[in-house]
């Protein structure tokens, strides 16, 4: 038997027998998570089944983010019901409206290499940044996993991506995600698990990895995992004070295909309306007038995102409206301590933390008819951020900040 890919290794461990592509398996789960918006349905399924219980309280993670702080009475009511559930079932890992977006919290506090993580939200792939097989599922599947500690999966094939060189100026995780989307299109990775090897681990830090893994679901991938390395160790040690145990593929693992991205040869990319794979270079859309910029979300609401935004906005005023939302309390606090929040505030941004807010057109900056938005978030289909007549361009933080400063889609190099 040839060696195992990371995907095969994780799923074999979780199902207790060697797994190959196409196998339908029952896997033990290490973390089951949900947020306010889907949690409501998860609990409803449990109630209907007459099984309001969980297999292991310590392995459940709940965070309020989509409806945080509640924009209306119904949202407040939903959160109230989930608070009651969390108290009754005694779930210790509960994060109320003042902590952060679920996927960011999983990356900061919980996810570990080699785990199987399932959550009632499609961007659960984000935890793949740490080398966990992490997948979003519907409320019924998540209710079943929370009750039994098990889930069923079809084992995907493994596709290897290698990142070579150091990222060119202004290039970060979003550009790598958009490159894969532009080169392969959104349906290509259906039934595949992407495993990314970073040749020079420190050149592609955890923040960038989380962005790329987050967009794995936009590629329709079953998972997008970074093969754990020295950067994984550095990050977990820094954030949690312990060294993670690494799980890595075997040297003779067989991949369905290989693809190499040369980071030093990249230029900043955007996804133009109305699809994530409508990828263009910034120069192709440069000059398009912009009404609003959003820097944040579980895709790009991390420290390095605010670092680059602050660098670009320092001493300048934004010409379009700009909303900035660090993805968690920790990210907000660090950005505050490092002066990034102050720089963005002085530049004229509106700032809060820990909410999905405008990402899915929920609240805190819904797009109006005819408006053009540049956003660091994950999706740009028609109506995603508000009106069906609005248009969203997805980008990394550098292009977003430069576009806010200029009031039109701009290359970071133009404003520096």
Ligand X SMILES: CC(C)[C@H](C(=O)O)[C@@H](O)C(=O)O
* Residue 178 binds which entry of ligand SF4, ligand X, none, CB below 5-8 Å type-dependent: none
206 binds ligand SF4 (CB under 6 A): no
Residues numbered 83 to 142 that lie near ligand SF4 (CB under 6 A) are: 101, 103, 121, 123
Closest distance of CB 382 from ligand X, Å: 14
349 is in an annotated binding site: no
Closest distance of CB 64 from ligand X, Å: 13
66 binds ligand X (CB under 6 A): yes
328 binds ligand X (CB under 6 A): no
Closest distance of CB 120 from ligand X, Å: 7
* Residue 377 binds which entry of ligand X, ligand SF4, none, CB below 5-8 Å type-dependent: ligand SF4
Q: Is 94 helix (H, G, I), strand (E, B) or coil?
A: strand
Q: Sheet containing 321-325: which strands, arranged edge to edge?
A: 279-281, 269-271, 391-394, 372-375, 292-296, 321-325, 350-351
Q: Which of 5, 7, 15, 38 binds ligand X (CB under 6 A)?
A: 38
The torsion defined by the Cα of 130, 136, 139 and 142, in degrees rounded to 10, comes to -40
Extended strands (E) in 189-265: 192-198, 223-226, 257-262
46 binds ligand SF4 (CB under 6 A): no
* Residue 304 binds which entry of ligand SF4, ligand X, none, CB below 5-8 Å type-dependent: none
Extended strands (E) in 275-365: 279-281, 292-296, 321-325, 350-351
Instruction: Sort 10 into a burial class: Cβ within 10 Å, 0-12 / 13-18 / 19+.
Output: buried
Q: Which is nearer to ligand X, 248 or 378 (CB)?
A: 378
Closest distance of CB 44 from ligand X, Å: 14
174 binds ligand X (CB under 6 A): no
Residue 17 has φ and ψ, to the nearest 5°, of -155, 155
360 binds ligand SF4 (CB under 6 A): yes
Question: Which tokens hold the place of 65?
Answer: 């983010």
CA distance 9 to 19: 8
Residues numbered 100 to 159 that lie near ligand X (CB under 6 A) are: 121-123, 136
CA distance 100 to 229: 26
User: Which residues make up the interface to ligand X (CB under 6 A)?
Assistant: 37-38, 66, 121-123, 136, 360, 378
């Amino acid at each position: 038997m040839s060696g195992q890919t990371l995907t095969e290794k994780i799923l074999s461990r979780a199902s207790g027998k060697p797994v190959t592509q196409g196998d339908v398996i029952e896997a033990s789960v290490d973390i089951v998570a949900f947020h306010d918006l889907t949690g409501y349905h998860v609990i409803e399924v449990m109630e209907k089944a007459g099984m309001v219980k969980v297999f292991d309280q310590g392995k459940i993670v709940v965070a309020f983010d989509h409806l945080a702080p509640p924009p209306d009475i119904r949202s407040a009511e939903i959160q109230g019901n989930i608070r009651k559930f969390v108290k009754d079932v005694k779930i210790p890992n509960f994060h109320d409206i003042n902590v952060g977006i679920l996927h960011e919290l999983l990356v900061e506090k919980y996810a570990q290499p080699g785990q199987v993580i399932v959550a009632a939200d499609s961007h659960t792939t984000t935890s793949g940044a740490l080398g966990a097989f992490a997948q979003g599922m519907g409320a019924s599947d998540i209710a079943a996993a929370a009750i039994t500690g098990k889930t069923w999966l079809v084992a995907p094939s493994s596709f290897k991506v290698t990142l070579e060189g150091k990222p060119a100026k202004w290039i970060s995780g979003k550009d790598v995600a958009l490159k894969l989307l532009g080169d392969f299109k959104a349906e290509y990775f259906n039934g595949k698990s992407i495993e990314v090897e970073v040749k020079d681990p420190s050149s592609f830090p955890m923040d960038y990895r989380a962005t790329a893994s987050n967009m794995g679901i936009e590629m329709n991938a079953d998972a997008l995992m970074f093969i754990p390395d020295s950067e994984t160790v550095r990050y977990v040690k820094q954030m949690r004070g312990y060294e993670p145990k690494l799980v890595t593929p075997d040297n003779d693992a067989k991949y369905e295909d290989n693809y190499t991205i040369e980071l030093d040869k990249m230029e900043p990319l955007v996804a133009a309306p109305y699809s994530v794979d409508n990828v263009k270079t910034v120069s192709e859309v440069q000059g398009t007038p912009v009404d609003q910029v959003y820097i944040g979300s579980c895709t790009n609401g991390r420290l390095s995102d605010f670092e680059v935004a602050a660098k670009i906005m320092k001493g300048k005023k934004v010409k379009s409206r700009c909303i900035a939302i660090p993805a968690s309390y920790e990210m907000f606090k660090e950005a505050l301590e490092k002066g990034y929040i102050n720089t963005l505030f002085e530049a004229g941004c509106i700032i809060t933390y820990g909410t999905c807010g405008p990402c899915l057109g929920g609240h805190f900056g819904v797009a109006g008819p005819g408006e053009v938005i540049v956003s660091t978030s994950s999706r740009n289909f028609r109506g995603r951020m508000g009106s069906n007549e609005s248009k969203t361009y997805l980008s990394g933080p550098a292009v977003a900040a430069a576009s806010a400063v200029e009031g039109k889609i701009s290359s970071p190099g133009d404003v520096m």
